[in-house]
Amino acid sequence: MSKIKVYIADDQTLFRKGMGRLVRSFPNVSEVKEASNGKELLDLIKEEKPDVILMDLEMPVMDGIEATEKVLAKYPNIKIVVLSMHDSQQHIFYLMELGAHAFLLKNAEPEEVQEAINAVLKNDFYQNQLVVEALRKGAMDKKKAEMRPVFQNSASLTDREKEILLLICRELTMKEISDKLSLSEKTVHNHRARMMDKLGVRNTVGLVKYAYDSGLLE
């Protein structure tokens, strides 16, 4: 078994470097490089291609989802092991559908990372409880999973309405919003009422839920 090259993409320096140490200690790893976001990772790959990437999802500049898409499209031989903080089934399902080769939580054991790296190189896939669960449940309502989890534009609300909705979601009152936007309190009330009417919800709770479900928030 020849030695492999592993790249790590994560914005948290300490996590990244600690991870680097761990990975370097794996017996079959010959080289480790680090990137603090998706863009840096792509730059690294341009110069030299790794065998496996340990990919964080939440990163500035270019997040892990976008980076995964680009790497998979350009370099089909590179394996991607996603290391995520959250076990949202929607994310897991989306990433695995996208073609990621493994999905681990950041509180996994180092041994599991090593196991996952070996598995994706050998079998193109590392199956753990998380992924099995997510795929099983995800298959049931695929529609939801096909929506890209993060960015999605909500068609029915106007720009102004979206702006106000976001402020509502920051727990501001109507008065605070009207001050912030230099509008009459009445105007903000009307905007919100129109949103509630458009979206067919009963109260602010419904608005916040819409903001989440439409990807406006998060």
Partner DNA sequence: CCAGCATTAGGTAAATTTACCCAATTTCAT
Partner DNA sequence: ATGAAATTGGGTAAATTTACCTAATGCTGG
* 13 near a copy of itself, judged by CB under 8 A: yes
* 127 near a copy of itself, judged by CB under 8 A: no
Separation CA 103–CA 53 (nearest Å): 12
Q: Which member of 194, 213, 215, 217 binds DNA (CB under 7 A)?
A: 194
Report how far apart, in Å, the C-alpha atoms of 185 and of each of 77, 118, 201 are.
57, 60, 21
* 196 near DNA, judged by CB under 7 A: yes
Compute how many residues bind DNA; rule: CB under 7 A: 24
- Give the closest residue to 24 by CA, choosing from 35, 44, 12, 8: 8
- Taking CB under 7 A as the binding criterion, the range among 17-25, 61-69, 127-135, 176-184 that sits at the site for DNA is 176-184
Site for DNA in 133-162 (CB under 7 A): 158-161
**Binding partner of residue 192 among a copy of itself, DNA, none, CB under 5 to 8 Å per kind?**
DNA
**Binding partner of residue 14 among DNA, a copy of itself, none, CB under 5 to 8 Å per kind?**
a copy of itself
| Token representation of residue 127 | 């199956």
What beta strand segments (E) does the chain contain?
A: 4-9, 29-35, 52-56, 79-84, 102-105
DSSP letters for 129-169 = HHHHHHHHHHHHTHHHHHS-SS----SSS-HHHHHHHHHHH
Q: Which member of 3, 17, 122, 189 binds a copy of itself (CB under 8 A)?
A: 17
Site for DNA in 83-112 (CB under 7 A): none
* 201 near a copy of itself, judged by CB under 8 A: yes
Separation CA 121–CA 208 (nearest Å): 43
Q: Residue length, the chain?
A: 218
* 114 near a copy of itself, judged by CB under 8 A: no
Separation CA 118–CA 116 (nearest Å): 5
* 175 near DNA, judged by CB under 7 A: yes
Instruction: Please give the helix or strand (H or E) that residue 110 lies within, else none.
Output: helix 110-123
**Binding partner of residue 212 among DNA, a copy of itself, none, CB under 5 to 8 Å per kind?**
a copy of itself
Q: Which member of 72, 108, 147, 183 binds a copy of itself (CB under 8 A)?
A: 108
**Binding partner of residue 174 among a copy of itself, DNA, none, CB under 5 to 8 Å per kind?**
DNA
